[in-house]
Amino acid sequence: MTQMPTVTRQDFDSVMVPNYNPAAVIPVRGQGSRVWDQDNREYVDLAGGIAVSVLGHCHPAMVQALQAQSERLWHLSNVMTNEPAIRLAQKLVAATFADRVYFCNSGAEANEAAFKLARRYASDHFGPDKHEIISFQQAFHGRTLFTVSVGGQPKYTEGFGPVPQGLHHIPYNDLDALKAVIGERTCAVVMEPMQGEGGIVPANEAFIQGVRALCDEHNALLIFDEVQTGMGRTGHLYAYQAYDVVPDILSSAKGLGGGFPVGAMLTSEKVAASFVVGTHGSTYGGNPLACSVAEAVLDQVNTPTLLDGVRERSEWLRSRLEAIAADTGAFKEIRGMGLLIGAEVAEPFAGQARDFLNAALEAGVMVLVAGPNVVRFAPALNIPQADLELGLQRFAEGVKKVVGQAAAA
């Protein structure tokens, strides 16, 4: 085998578009919840590729599924269907509220399809004037022009105008704000059951149930963006199952493929009927490789043992983070659901969440941020207790370093 040339972090800057600023280390190998870089230094992964690697790195079931499918069939496009796509859709329908599934390649694409379907359904049933979409401030729904416009963070649309019209953004967990805006022109309300990029903020049960009731009252569809909260992340296959509220459309990605790019939009038969032949599509959507891997992930995740384990690990992780907060004074609140947990920094460290991330990486553990004030944790759902304990030990070391530097300044 030909020796591959060595690449460095500096090479990234010379050949890649500068929209990312990745860390200095370049991981080259992963196994379970451990990752090794080019210098063979080990890290505990509590980031999960931004809530993607639900089974960790190189899980045997995923590897076997990909290897087996890679020897059978790679691609057909949507001119023909394929067995893995149908099998995966059947299992998603059986496990959720949905009757129909549309496959794509990412969360942004799943949300794009959801928003287009909502407008098309409203146009079919109520006319073109019913086209407005309501979403929530600090929401995140993707980076296409439509999805980033629906998301409630202006920084992501700056310089990309004019943006699509007919969109309203209101405070999250504020039912009165929704009552003031929703009306006969509203075709859909879109929300994350727990805001991810917006700071790991779960919906109040009364709020999410109230949103469902208002949508019904105004003939508007309820769209749940479960790109980050789906596939077992909250201790339920999808977070809506924890709230006793059923959406009309649900978007799924990230953990669905466990690291292989795949997205899905789930919906009812009635709503799906508006996507007649030719109205929407994706060349790669439903790819046999992606669907084979996703089926293997779903088979592993959608079990009582794994989902119960998520809730158990969640309790331990929260208690350990609360202990670190009490010991260091670095965090004022620990919140979240399942294994999507946020630690909001205390006032003396406002805006410094990334400092904790960088210090943690130096200590040998990978974490995330959710905005400038929240450190985010999204480890593999099956992370061994030993890895979780070591990761939090290393995180505590990083926290103490940041706190110590602040005290010395």
Tens-place pLDDT, residues 292-341 = 999 999 999 999 999 999 999 999 999 999 999 999 999 999 999 999 99
pLDDT over threshold 60, residue 29:
yes
Q: In the predicted model, what is the mean pLDDT of residues 152-158?
A: 89
Instruction: Using the structure block, give the residue that is written with the tokens 């076997």.
Output: 64
Nearest to 267 by CA among 109, 85, 113: 113
pLDDT over threshold 80, residue 155:
yes
- Cα 143 from chain centroid (whole Å): 13
Here the tokens at position 330 are 């670095």
CA dist., res. 337 & res. 318, Å (int) = 10
**What integer pLDDT is reported at residue 5 of this predicted model?**
78
Q: Establish how many alpha carbons lie within 13 A of residue 216's alpha carbon, considering only the half-sphere containing its beta carbon.
A: 9
> Beta strands 221-225 and 186-191: pairing type?
parallel
Which residues touch 200 (CB under 8 Å, ≥6 apart)? Answer: 194, 335, 336, 340, 341, 342, 370, 374, 376
What's the mean per-residue pLDDT of the chain? 96
- Is the sign of the CA dihedral 376, 382, 385, 387 positive or negative? negative
CA dist., res. 150 & res. 190, Å (int) = 8
Q: In the predicted model, what is the mean pLDDT of residues 13-21?
A: 93
Confidence category of residue 1, pLDDT binned at 50, 70, 90 = low
5-14, 57-66, 90-99, 237-246: segment of lowest average pLDDT: 5-14
- Cα 289 from chain centroid (whole Å): 21
Residue 198: what residue type?
A: G
| Percentage, residues of the chain above pLDDT 70 | 100
| φ/ψ of residue 57, rounded to 5 | -95, 135
**What integer pLDDT is reported at residue 212 of this predicted model?**
98
Where are the alpha helices (H) located in 7-82, listed in sequence order? 9-15, 48-51, 60-70
pLDDT over threshold 80, residue 200:
yes
Nearest to 255 by CA among 36, 26, 47, 20: 47
Coil, helix or strand for 352?
coil
**What integer pLDDT is reported at residue 6 of this predicted model?**
87
Q: What is the pTM of this model?
A: 0.96
CB 242 within 8 A of CB 209: no
Q: In the predicted model, what is the mean pLDDT of residues 62-76?
A: 98
Q: In the predicted model, what is the mean pLDDT of residues 282-286?
A: 97
CA dist., res. 389 & res. 167, Å (int) = 44
Q: Establish how many alpha carbons lie within 13 A of residue 26's alpha carbon, considering only the half-sphere containing its beta carbon.
A: 9
pLDDT in tens, 221-260: 999 999 999 999 999 999 999 998 999 999 999 999 999 9
Nearest to 391 by CA among 54, 42, 45: 45
**What integer pLDDT is reported at residue 314 of this predicted model?**
98
Here the tokens at position 106 are 């990412």
Confidence category of residue 181, pLDDT binned at 50, 70, 90 = very high
pLDDT over threshold 90, residue 4:
no
Where are the alpha helices (H) located in 29-106, listed in sequence order? 48-51, 60-70, 83-95
**What integer pLDDT is reported at residue 363 of this predicted model?**
98
CB 137 within 8 A of CB 171: yes
pLDDT over threshold 80, residue 409:
no
pLDDT over threshold 90, residue 111:
yes
pLDDT over threshold 80, residue 28:
yes
Confidence category of residue 2, pLDDT binned at 50, 70, 90 = low
Nearest to 119 by CA among 89, 153, 156, 146: 146
CA-angle at 253, arms to 376 and 205, nearest 5°: 60
Q: Establish how many alpha carbons lie within 13 A of residue 14's alpha carbon, considering only the half-sphere containing its beta carbon.
A: 5
